[in-house]
Chains A and B, each alone.
Chain A
Amino acid sequence: MAGYFSSSLGRKQVVAITGLLLILFLIMHLSGNLLLYKGPDAFNAYAEFLDHLGMIKLLARVGLVLLFVTHIVFTALLVIDNRKARGQEGYAVNRAVGKRSFATRLMPYTGTLVLVYLIFHLLDYTLADHHSAKSIVDGVNLGLYGLVYNSFRSPVRVAFYVAGMFGIGFHLIHAVQSVVQTFGFNHPTATPVIRRLSTLIGVAIAVGFASIPFYLFLCGGARACSVSCLF
């Protein structure tokens, strides 16, 4: 199997499968995050449920790290090859004639943006103390909910998180249809639909995640309209 993992097609397929699993993780992550709209109790209960999974949680985390690292390492190997493949002299004039989309051109940049974003994101929440003074809202310690709520008082963080989600969104617009092609599925009627679906999934995931900092920032100012009273 060593030949498979060092071949161009094998590496592409590794990037595709790890990418697909990461997309599934994102969907799960988003579904959890949306509980923020239901208020502190629902969100914290979900966080505690995850905390009490013990070994399963540990395994999931190790798995995620492995997925990320594999996805990035194999992509890097492919990109290094691609840079070399053009040769020393590039084109003086280069005009794309195909359907090379904005999202496709941005892949290396959105990928890097997501990586940088991820580091800050892990430090902000995953690795932070969920019950410190940072979780206190109006004198009450609201746990992870409070931490998230307080962190999005800062417009800079809101802007950074929204930018990170733009990165994810554009990355997925190209990625979803790319996964399907790399797994060997291409059909005259289904492929155009899949390409549109890819855009839809990218936009939906990005908007879903980005809505949360927006919501907490805009609504959080007036505690009266805070989350829980909407439901």
Chain B
Amino acid sequence: MSKSINLTLKVWRQKNAKSKGQFETYLAENVDSDCSFLEMLDVVNEDLNKAGKDPIAFDHDCREGICGACGAVVNGQVHGPQRKTTLCQLHMRQFSDGDTIVIEPYRSRAFPVIKDLAVDRTAFDRIIQAGGYVSVKTGQAPDAHSILVPKTNADLAMDAAQCIGCGACVAACPNASAMLFVSAKVSHFALLPQGQLERKERVKRMVAQMDKEGFGNCSNEYECEAACPKGISVSNIARMNRDYMGVGS
């Protein structure tokens, strides 16, 4: 049964990429516990609009937990307190009446803040552009059946392909490293026959782009895996490490 709760929000407000931000406190009153976190922010924004104030900017798109657009750090945890859940799929019933919620944008040099909670994640796009694709001809749909894929590999590739590129791994990593994301994309192809031809070249180019974007280095702390809304495993990072061995300049 839904109930109504009152919350205090401490939200990071930053006018634009160049300006200095600060926390602002808002009261969110009579929040329906069945609404999602983003819907709660919508309600707060309506009030801000009515008061003639600038609404809180945050990223969102599908609101079904499958697109990877949303994401913020809620009380020190990326996508909030519920595991394997994107921010849009987090519901207010996870909070109690009277709670104070601190909402911050992802913090990473490679993901600069655009405004408030919205960050620029085009660094991920550039990593994909560097090699996250298959450029060899793989034939028509029926040809997919002509090359057998072992069930284990098919499953692991599907697991890796679940990555929605939300950037939670970067936000949660103590070193702001993007290795979980990159390794998921590398593994997705490395596990399938169609990805073999460009396997070495792909990992080399994607890692080079990742380094260029200014992400940190993995120190095997495994915070990314815990924060990932899709449960991407750090075994993908091991696979990327293995594929990278002996890769020249």
Contacts and interface: CB of A to CB of B under 8 A. Distances in A.
A81 to B, nearest CB: 6
B174 A12 contact: no
A230 interface: no
Interface string A1-40: 1111001111111000000000000000000000000000
A87 B108 CA distance: 5
Interface in B177-201: 177, 179
Contacts of B237: 181, 186
Interface stretch (A90-98, A124-132, A202-210): A90-98
Contacts, number: 152
B105 to A, nearest CB: 9
A111 to B, nearest CB: 11
Nearest to B227: A97
Interface stretch (A99-107, A115-123, A148-156, A162-170): A99-107
A81 B216 contact: yes
B210 interface: yes
Nearest to A107: B219
Given A97-B172, A98-B227, A8 B210 contact: yes
B248 A9 contact: no
B76 A91 contact: yes
25 contacts: A3-B208, A4-B247, A8-B210, A8-B211, A10-B244, A10-B247, A84-B216, A85-B214, A86-B216, A90-B107, A91-B73, A91-B76, A92-B12, A94-B76, A95-B76, A96-B223, A97-B83, A98-B172, A98-B223, A98-B226, A100-B222, A177-B220, A181-B241, A184-B245, A186-B233
B72 to A, nearest CB: 11
B235 A186 contact: yes
Given A82-B176, A93-B104, A4 B249 contact: yes
Interface in B52-76: 73, 75-76
- Interface size bracket, B side: 35 or more
B219 A82 contact: yes
Contact of A13 (B78, B210, B216, B245): B245
B95 to A, nearest CB: 15
Instruction: Report whether over half of chain B's contact residues are helix, strand or loop; otherwise say mixed.
Output: mixed
Interface in A62-116: 78, 81-82, 84-87, 89-100, 104, 107
A191 interface: yes
Contact of A8 (B217, B222, B234): B217
A59 to B, nearest CB: 26
Interface string A155-181: 000000000000000000010011001
B242 interface: yes
Contact of A9 (B10, B12, B220, B240): B240
Contacts of B216: 81-82, 84-86
Contacts of B108: 85-87
B100 to A, nearest CB: 10
B215 interface: yes
Given A8-B179, A91-B104, A184-B245, 5 more contacts: A11-B217, A85-B175, A87-B108, A98-B222, A186-B237
Contacts of B172: 97-98
A220 B245 CA distance: 51
A100 B208 contact: no
